[in-house]
Structure 1
């Protein structure tokens, strides 16, 4: 049978100690056992000449209550550890999100700086090309062709179009980081639940 104390169930068995005995006194002796569970204490009581199981009933019930108190303490400790682990995990996840979002911003910044640098370089090229075409005209040796002027105009328009500072950018719209983006910053924690990941 199960004996329940404060929500904890303890499996208790009552059986004959010597069921095969033909001696009526021996075959009438009983044994009560409480399943061990988390405790290392003994959970067995027997009929004895100097004490019957009925007399030990208070001791048996006290043992079950003691186990219930221990199990309640274990449960409270486990819950405290779970909450502490979850709090640590949430802090690590928040920090990982901040770092992953910073990476998103850095990537956008890198792209904008790259386009700005490219626009500046193309602008310098256009200035050099224009000086060269002007020098050719001034020397009178060679007249720039229409296609050369068209190329110069197109290159200047392209440089303006890719220059991110032409229309100064604002703060980019960020997206929620993926678990893969969080992983490098999680210090061994799972991205999905408050558990440590197995190290490869």
Structure 2
């Protein structure tokens, strides 16, 4: 016999109520995923471990690249600084060579001037000797006042010859002065009068006397 309450309006029997789906009715894989999502297990999931390793590897790669670039930048700055230092050293060496050559030119000029004075004094001395010889030849021919006057003139001439003769005393090493920038220009061979760091030729003092002056 069928209970009236169990009969629906159309006369058919009601369907059996569906049983609620529980966690244990799921497949094991789905059950594990649901449990992991709800924090029901403390076992690390393989997918999360793999993702963590990927992030760590990416971070290591980024940090490694930063270190490499930082090292390259430091090396480049070091090389640039070293190049500046080496160029400054070469510039100072070029200035030293230019100064030696400029000083050498001063000495050459002094020597030529000495030789010129010697040639002049030798010529004048020879002239004075010939002059004196001529006075002797005219002795008794020319009146004495005239001879006296020419002798005074000859005496002055010989004194002048002695004053300009560089060999009247032993020649000494001439004093040299610091070359001017204009005097250095012909010997710098393309180098500027100022260094890369703002130094000037006046700053590059000669550490010792030039080779030509030793």
Which residue in the other structure is 2:152 paired with?
150
Between the aligned partners of 1:57 and 1:172, the Cα distance in structure 2 is 74
Q: Secondary structure at the match of 1:192?
A: coil
Which has the higher Rg, Structure 1 or Structure 2? Answer: 2
Aligned pairs for 1:1-16 within 5 A: none
Which residue in the other structure is 1:118 paired with?
120
Aligned counterpart for 2:109 among listed residues 107, 110, 113: 107
Q: Deviations over 1:46-94 (max 9, x none)?
A: xxxxxxxx88665554443332112112112112222221222222112
Q: Which has the higher contact order (CA 8 A, sep 6+)?
A: 2
Q: Deviations over 1:126-157 (max 9, x none)?
A: 1111122222226x266543221111110000
Aligned counterpart for 2:190 among listed residues 184, 188, 191: 188
Q: Is the 8 A contact 2:94 2:188 kept in 1?
A: yes
Which residue in the other structure is 1:162 paired with?
164
Q: Secondary structure at the match of 1:128?
A: helix
Between the aligned partners of 2:119 and 2:191, the Cα distance in structure 1 is 39
TM-score normalised to structure 2 length: 0.58
Q: Is the 8 A contact 2:135 2:147 kept in 1?
A: no
Q: Which structure has more strand as a fraction of its residues?
A: 1
Unaligned runs of 5+ in 2: 1-54, 198-214
Which residue in the other structure is 2:42 paired with?
none
**Cα drift, residue 119 of structure 1:** 1.1
Between the aligned partners of 1:71 and 1:147, the Cα distance in structure 2 is 91
Between the aligned partners of 2:165 and 2:180, the Cα distance in structure 1 is 30
Q: Is the 8 A contact 2:95 2:188 kept in 1?
A: yes
**Cα drift, residue 164 of structure 1:** 1.5
Unaligned runs of 5+ in 1: 1-53, 196-200
The count of aligned residue pairs is: 142
Between the aligned partners of 1:141 and 1:162, the Cα distance in structure 2 is 31
**Cα drift, residue 194 of structure 1:** 4.5
Which residue in the other structure is 2:84 paired with?
82
Quote the RMSD (CA, aligned, Å).
2.5
Q: Secondary structure at the match of 1:145?
A: helix
Q: Which structure has more helix as a fraction of its residues?
A: 2
